[in-house]
Amino acid sequence: MKLTQTVFEALDRFRIEIPSWGFANTGTRFGKFIQPAAATTTEEKFSDAGQVQALTGVCPTVALHVLWDLPNGLADVPEVEKLAAHYGVRPGSINPNLFQDQIYKYGSFANPDESIRREAARHAELCVEIAKRLNSRDISFWFTDGSNYPGTANIRERKHLFTEALKRVHRELAADQRMLVEYKPFEPAFYHTDIADWGMALLLARQAGPQAKVLVDTGHHYASQNIEQIVAWLLDENMLGGFHFNDRRYADDDLTLGSIDPYQVFRIFHEIRFYEWDAGKQADIAYMIDQSHNLKGKIEAMLQTVGMAQELFAKAALIDYKRLVRAQKNADLVAAESCLQDAFATDVRPAVWEWRESKGLPRNPLEAFRGSGYLERITEERAARNAAGISSYA
Ligand code: AFD
Ligand code: MN
Ligand code: MN
Neighbours of 223 (CB within 10 A): 8
Closest residue by Cα to atom 7, ligand 1, is 252
Measured CA to CA, the distance from residue 114 to residue 15 in angstroms comes to 41
Q: Give yes or no for residue 290 CB within 6 A of ligand 1.
A: yes
Q: Tell me the ligand closest to 21's alpha carbon.
A: 1
CB 132 within 8 A of CB 172: no
Q: Give yes or no for residue 243 CB within 6 A of ligand 1.
A: no
Closest residue by Cα to atom 5, ligand 1, is 290
Helix or strand (DSSP H, E) at 179: strand 178-182
Sign of CA dihedral 364, 370, 374, 379: positive
Measured CA to CA, the distance from residue 350 to residue 355 in angstroms comes to 9
Q: Give yes or no for residue 244 CB within 6 A of ligand 1.
A: yes
Instruction: Indicate the pTM of the whole model.
Output: 0.97
pLDDT tens, N- to C-terminus, the chain (394 residues): 699 999 999 999 999 999 999 999 988 888 889 999 999 999 999 999 999 999 999 999 999 999 999 999 999 999 999 999 999 999 999 999 999 999 999 999 999 999 999 999 999 999 999 999 999 999 999 999 999 999 999 999 999 999 999 999 999 999 999 999 999 999 999 999 999 999 999 999 999 999 999 999 999 999 999 999 999 999 999 999 999 999 999 999 899 999 999 999 999 999 999 999 999 999 999 999 999 888 999 999 999 999 999 999 999 999 999 999 999 999 999 999 999 999 999 999 999 999 999 999 999 999 999 999 999 999 999 999 999 987 766 4
Q: Which fold has domain 2-380?
A: TIM Barrel (3.20.20)
- Rounded to 10°, the helix 42-56/374-387 angle is 160
